[in-house]
Amino acid sequence: MNPPVVDIEQVNFSYASQTILEDINLRVAAGDFLGIIGPNGGGKSTLLKLILGILVPDRGRIRVFGEPPGKVHTRMGYVPQNVHQNLHFPIVAMDVVLMGRLNPRRLGRPFSRQDRDIAMACLEQVEMGGFAQRPMAQLSGGERQRVVIARALSAEPDILLLDEPTSSIDPHFEEDLFGILERLNQRMTLILVTHDIGVISRHVRSLACLNHTLICHPDGQITQGMLDATYRCPVDLIAHGLPHRVLPHHPEKE
Amino acid sequence: MEALQMEFVRNALWAGVLVSIACGIMGALVVVNRIVFISGGIAHAAYGGIGLAIYVGISPLLGATLFSVFIALLMGLFTFGNREGSDTVIGVMWAAGMGLGIILVDLTPGYHPDLMSYLFGSILAVSKIDLCFMALLDGLIVLVIVLFYKELLSFSYDDTFSATRGIPVRALHFLLLVLIALSVVMLIRIVGLILVIALLTIPASIAGQYTFSLKKMMQLGCILGAVFILLGLWLSYRFDMTSGATIVLVACAAYLLSSAGKTVALHLARRQRS
């Protein structure tokens, strides 16, 4: 069997004195499409940032392709959560996608013809080929999301990490997005993080629940027991892909 | 026109053109990175360097340069990865620098008539050496931008993503603040440290209203900066007003006109559609 693409052993992480992640163990096999669900503030984005090497764990060990994350960041693609940040920044779609072609070994040298061709091809992959010179400020939420995915792809990654890619996009694009992701999954490993249970369960191969601690379910099935353990409250399994918030039960107020 | 015969007027015009390059390029980076407050902090804290220089008896401009670079590095430490959350620390350094400057000047015996020029600028007193300093600094800024434009663009737009690409975001953050500190010192000669922030933000933000590329924003910012400075200079000469304040008011008026024009245009376009 191939070694895991991502191998996390007994990782702890805290901000200031607040523990965000506790004793996380996770192995992601090559070609997997892992969905990680959990409530807001459960540490999902933090876990992705640990895998990317932007954050460093307090304890434990993380290996990506058998190496420390900092050594293999050029093989990882990242789709961050907030595509609405910096909305009025003067930048066109093409320049955003080209960011994926940045490489510390080519610091101080302009992008090559090849970089531009790859970036353009990635825009076409997400059906945004005609929008290359359009300012980001003039794109809709769904279009911006596509551009940000194209940016991650232009790095030609072997693993793609997506943070809440379905938040604040229209339901129509949601289906398109999973179509794109399923095609990508044929050639790369995917990890997708979301609080939207309804959407994810139909598309992923395996599933994990994260709320400070992580519970893995390799068969991709959500069970009521899993949700209750993760959200610590009864959660309706029938969500129809509608965005909803899961609030903890407050017995002390009753 | 006979004014052009005088060397100090010619120097002033050259200074106006030279600083507008720093205004346009660094101003664009200040605006898109939303570090106007940090830049204001560096500008005001620079007074500490002027006070220190007068106290130990070196050139005030040299003191301001060294001290504002030091302050920029210190602010870099506090603001890295936390651009919005460090307001208070910036405010404290802003005030501490000014306070230190005032006390050090108090402690130095003698009268210092040229102190006002650091607060409100004195473009008509720019010397040949000042012009060389400005040209050198412009050269440095242009060199950094030509070399690292794509990294600076990426860092400014999304520093987290840039970090995942292995770009040295920490070094870029400090580089940006040091270049701002040097530009601030240069602008102090023109409009004084109190009004520096106007020239560092207004030309760039007007430019930002008309373009969707950081590069074009920088170019247009340079042109606008030069126009404001030269027009302000002429008005101040014509009506015998303080040059720094006149330049800043010209820039402010242009900002107001541009924003109002933009709003009206948007309103008309909307009405036409409906």
* Alpha helices in chain A, H assignment, sequence order: 44-52, 93-98, 113-125, 141-154, 171-185, 197-200, 224-231
Residue A243 lies in a domain: yes
Residue A169 lies in a domain: yes
pLDDT at residue A143 greater than cutoff 50: yes
pLDDT at residue B151 greater than cutoff 60: yes
Weakest-pLDDT range from A134-143, B62-71, B203-212: A134-143
Is B148's CB within 8 Å of A108's CB? yes
A vs B, Cβ pairs < 8 A, gives 77
pLDDT at residue A154 greater than cutoff 70: yes
- DSSP-assigned beta bridge partners for residue B162: none
- Residue A80 near residue A163, CB atoms below 8 Å: yes
Residue B243 lies in a domain: no
Is A80's CB within 8 Å of B166's CB? no
Q: CA B173, CA B35: separation in Å to the nearest integer?
A: 11
Confidence at residue B3, expressed as pLDDT on a 0 to 100 scale: 72
Question: What average pLDDT score do residues B245-254 get?
Answer: 94
Q: CA B183, CA A198: separation in Å to the nearest integer?
A: 53
Question: What average pLDDT score do residues B87-114 get?
Answer: 88
- Of the candidates A77, A94, A248, the residue with the CA atom closest to the CA atom of residue A165: A77
Please give the residue that has the higher pLDDT: either B118 or A189: A189
User: Is the CB of residue B219 less than 8 Å away from at least one CB of chain A?
Assistant: no
Please give the residue that has the higher pLDDT: either A251 or B193: B193
pLDDT for B172-181, tens place per residue?
A: 999 999 999 9
Q: CA A191, CA A193: separation in Å to the nearest integer?
A: 7
Is A73's CB within 8 Å of B208's CB? no
pLDDT for B94-107, tens place per residue?
A: 999 999 999 999 89
User: pTM of the predicted model, to two decimals?
Assistant: 0.87
% of chain A residues with pLDDT over 90 = 38
Q: How far is A52 from chain B (nearest CA, A)?
A: 6
pLDDT at residue A42 greater than cutoff 70: yes
Please give the residue that has the higher pLDDT: either B82 or A113: A113
% of chain A residues with pLDDT over 70 = 81
Q: CA B38, CA B184: separation in Å to the nearest integer?
A: 11
Which candidate in A89, A149, A153, A161 is best for mutational testing of the B interface (most B CBs within 10 A)?
Answer: A89
Q: Which amino acid is at A91?
A: I
Contacts of A213 (CB under 8 A, 6+ apart): A21, A22, A23, A24
**What's the Cα-to-Cα distance from B85 to each of B38, B69, B161, rounded to whole Å?**
12, 22, 20
**3-state secondary structure (DSSP) of residue A10:** strand
Residue A1 lies in a domain: no
Question: Torsion angle of alpha carbons A70, A71, A74, A79, nearest 10°?
Answer: -30
* Residue B157 CA from chain centroid, whole number: 21
Question: What average pLDDT score do residues B256-273 get?
Answer: 89
Residue with tokens 């207004």: B202
Question: What average pLDDT score do residues A91-100 get?
Answer: 96
Confidence at residue B178, expressed as pLDDT on a 0 to 100 scale: 96
Question: What average pLDDT score do residues B216-221 get?
Answer: 97
Q: What is the mean pLDDT of chain B?
A: 91
Total number of domains in chain B: 1
- Residue B220 near residue A90, CB atoms below 8 Å: no
Q: Which residues of B touch A75 (CB under 8 A)?
A: none
- Residue B180 near residue B25, CB atoms below 8 Å: no
Which candidate in A64, A82, A84, A102 is best for mutational testing of the B interface (most B CBs within 10 A)?
Answer: A102
Confidence at residue A105, expressed as pLDDT on a 0 to 100 scale: 87
Q: CA B11, CA B13: separation in Å to the nearest integer?
A: 5
pLDDT at residue A245 greater than cutoff 50: no
- Residue A47 near residue A62, CB atoms below 8 Å: no
Q: Please give the residue range of the domain that contains residue A56.
A: 6-253
Confidence at residue A13, expressed as pLDDT on a 0 to 100 scale: 92
Question: What average pLDDT score do residues B196-222 get?
Answer: 95
Nearest CA in chain A to B144: A108
ipTM: 0.87
Please give the residue that has the higher pLDDT: either A241 or B75: B75
pLDDT at residue A237 greater than cutoff 60: no
**3-state secondary structure (DSSP) of residue A19:** strand
Question: What average pLDDT score do residues A138-143 get?
Answer: 87
Which candidate in B29, B164, B210 is best for mutational testing of the A interface (most A CBs within 10 A)?
Answer: B164
The CATH number that applies at residue B203 is 1.10.3470.10
Q: Which residues of A touch B153 (CB under 8 A)?
A: 91, 95
Confidence at residue A223, expressed as pLDDT on a 0 to 100 scale: 63
User: Is the CB of residue A69 less than 8 Å away from at least one CB of chain B?
Assistant: no
Total number of domains in chain A: 1
The CATH number that applies at residue A247 is 3.40.50.300
Contacts of B119 (CB under 8 A, 6+ apart): B47, B192, B193, B194
First to last CA, chain A: 53
User: Is the CB of residue A86 less than 8 Å away from at least one CB of chain B?
Assistant: yes
- Of the candidates A171, A163, A172, A189, the residue with the CA atom closest to the CA atom of residue A48: A163
**3-state secondary structure (DSSP) of residue A135:** strand
pLDDT band at B85 (very low <50, low <70, confident <90, very high): low
Residue B181 lies in a domain: yes
State phi, psi for A92 to the nearest 5 degrees: -100, 160
Q: CA A141, CA A83: separation in Å to the nearest integer?
A: 8
Residue B265 lies in a domain: no
pLDDT band at A249 (very low <50, low <70, confident <90, very high): very low
Q: Please give the residue range of the domain that contains residue B138.
A: 2-226
pLDDT band at A232 (very low <50, low <70, confident <90, very high): low
Q: Which amino acid is at B259?
A: S
pLDDT band at A90 (very low <50, low <70, confident <90, very high): very high
CB within 8 Å of chain A, chain B residues 15-34:
32
Residue B266 lies in a domain: no
**3-state secondary structure (DSSP) of residue B122:** coil
Kindly write down the DSSP assignment for every residue of A42-99, as one continuous string.
SSHHHHHHHHHTSS--SEEEEEETTB-GGGSGGGEEEE-S-TTTTTT---BHHHHHHG
Q: CA B273, CA A15: separation in Å to the nearest integer?
A: 50
Residue A81 lies in a domain: yes
- Residue A54 near residue B160, CB atoms below 8 Å: yes
Q: How many Cβ atoms sit within 10 Å of the Cβ of residue B175?
A: 18
Q: How far is A106 from chain B (nearest CA, A)?
A: 10
pLDDT at residue A247 greater than cutoff 70: no
Nearest to B164 among A78, A88, A91 (CB): A78
pLDDT for A199-220, tens place per residue?
A: 676 778 888 888 888 877 666 5
Weakest-pLDDT range from A129-133, A180-184, A241-245, B165-169: A241-245
- Rg, chain A, Cα only: 19
Contacts of A184 (CB under 8 A, 6+ apart): A153, A160, A190
CB within 8 Å of chain B, chain A residues 109-168:
110-111, 135, 137, 151, 155
% of chain B residues with pLDDT over 90 = 70
User: Is the CB of residue B193 less than 8 Å away from at least one CB of chain A?
Assistant: no
Q: CA B79, CA B86: separation in Å to the nearest integer?
A: 6
Residue B239 lies in a domain: no
Residue B240 lies in a domain: no
pLDDT at residue A131 greater than cutoff 70: yes
pLDDT band at B87 (very low <50, low <70, confident <90, very high): confident
Q: CA A154, CA B147: separation in Å to the nearest integer?
A: 22
Question: What average pLDDT score do residues B254-271 get?
Answer: 91
Confidence at residue A231, expressed as pLDDT on a 0 to 100 scale: 61
Q: How far is B78 from chain A (nearest CA, A)?
A: 16
Q: CA B201, CA B26: separation in Å to the nearest integer?
A: 9
Residue B250 lies in a domain: no
Residue A189 lies in a domain: yes
Residue B37 lies in a domain: yes
